[in-house]
Amino acid sequence: MTAETAPAPTDTPGAFIRQRRMSLGDPLLGWGVRILSWLAFLAIVVMLLDTALHSIKLLEHTSLWDFVTGTAWQPASLVYGALPFIYGTVVTSTIALLIAVPLALGAALLVNEYLPSRAATPVAYGIELLAAVPSVVYGFWGVIVLVPALRVLEEAVAGSPAGQFPLFSGPVPGPSYFAAGVILAIMILPIVTSVARDAMRATPRLQREGALALGATHWETIRHVVLPFARGGIFAGVILGLSRAIGETIAVLFVIGNQPQINASIFAPGYSLPSVIASEFAEANQPFHPEALIGLGVVLFVLSFAVNLLARGVVGRFEAHAGGADVR
């Protein structure tokens, strides 16, 4: 910085170089940036390792295989099996995707293809606002409004012939995998919609006009030009939604019923990986109970890491093809 205040004669090229070399600012900012970045990196690595080390203590008590495939979770008798939670996470995320993906696609098409922009903007904005509502608000609203409303539907289905299938059988206590899936669907709808919209919008104009010029109707253009073109991006959006659904904690905790069991019926109460950690960790005082919960956290981490890896691969390929719609 001191070099800047004393301007060197600048009539020769060498003077520039001399001036740059004397500048204190460059090493200062350069090393500042480097050190802070490495610090952030180091903190992340240390935390990952430290958490892993904490959970490894569980292996003195339960083998990895027994932990991951164990169907019973009874901290009072020191039995720790993760399967009910893994099952709950998988089932609720699947329900969420089954509900959210068609809705998101429909909403994305509506906003991008059908509505005039004056009507499209508020609809798009409204859907994006869904993402701004904190999950604790969804959970509370879910338990007060959604669960009683869904219960009526669940009773109707369980009472109808469809109730003969174990998947839809009663009894119907209210909080359930299904209720959790619906809440998750609401929460991931915005991200899936916005990524799908970006992907559809990236369709080259020429292809679209070409299809119309060949006599295709609007729907045929969508079906044969827009959707195939946007396929990769839509898939990326779905994966991003899935990764949100897997990790969602508080909203699920309110509506899933918090029963560590595996039940074939989606109307039965269950538990999910994040929600059991949230509700038991602060009061875990049995031997190996905290370690088992951190172990569940590691399982959750691995699961969401795998999904994110998949998303990154798909998004990377999609970006390479479509020239980069923003998928964040």
Partner 1 sequence: MLLLCLAAGAIALLPLVLVLFYLLSEGLKAWSPAFLVSPPGGGVTTKGGGALNAIVGTLEMTGLGLAIAAPLGLAVALYVAEYREGRMAVVVRTAVDLVAGIPSIVIGLFVYSIVVVTMGHFSGYAGAIALSLIMLPIIARTSEEMFKIVPRQLREGTMALAMPRWRAIVSVYIPTVATGIVTGIVLAVSRAIGETAPLLFTALGSSFVVTDMNRPMSALPLYMFQNALNIGFPAAVQRAWAAALTLVAIVLLFNVLGRWLASRMLLKGR
Confirm if 225 and 207 have CB atoms less than 8 A apart. yes
**CA 204 to centroid of chain Cα atoms:** 29
Give the nearest distance from C-beta 155 to partner 1 in angstroms: 21
Distances (CA, A) of 30 to 19, 26, 43, 159: 17, 6, 20, 69
Q: Does 214 bind partner 1 (CB under 8 A)?
A: no
Least distance from partner 1 to the Cβ atom of residue 296, Å: 9
256 binds partner 1 (CB under 8 A): no
Residues 96 and 185 sit within 8 Å (Cβ to Cβ): yes
- What is the footprint of partner 1 within residues 162-201 (CB under 8 A)? 186, 189, 193
Asked if residue 232 lies in contact with residue 324, where contact means CB atoms within 8 angstroms, the answer is no
| Identity of the residue, 42 or 162, whose beta carbon is nearer to partner 1 in the bound complex | 42
- 29 touching partner 1, by CB under 8 A: yes
Q: Considering the complex, what minimum distance in angstroms separates the CB of residue 250 from partner 1?
A: 5
* Nearer of residues 50 and 60 to partner 1, judged by Cβ: 50
Token pair in block for residue 179: 């209720």
- Residue 138 found at the interface with partner 1 (CB under 8 A): yes
Distance, CA of 37 to CA of 301 (rounded, Å): 23
What's the gap between Cα 163 and its chain centre? 31
Site residues for partner 1, 73-132, by CB under 8 A, read 102-107, 109-111, 113-114, 123, 126-127, 129-130, 132
Q: Kindly state the DSSP code that residue 111 receives in the 8-state scheme.
A: I
Regarding 319 and contact with partner 1 (CB under 8 A), the answer is no
**Alpha-carbon Rg of the chain, whole angstroms?**
26
User: Angle at the Cα of 101 (from 95 to 107), degrees rounded to 5?
Assistant: 135
- Residue 160, classed as helix, strand or coil, is coil
For residues 6 to 25, the per-residue mask of contacts with partner 1, x marking binding by CB under 8 A and - elsewhere, is ----------x--xx--x-x
**Residue 313 beta carbon to partner 1: minimum distance, rounded to whole angstroms:** 13
Q: Segment 277-306, which members bind partner 1 (CB under 8 A)?
A: 277-278, 281-282, 293-294, 297, 300-301, 304-305
3-state secondary structure of 71: coil
Q: Is 274 in the site for partner 1 (CB under 8 A)?
A: yes
Query: Binding segment for partner 1 among 79-87, 143-151, 158-166, 206-214 (CB under 8 A)?
Result: 143-151
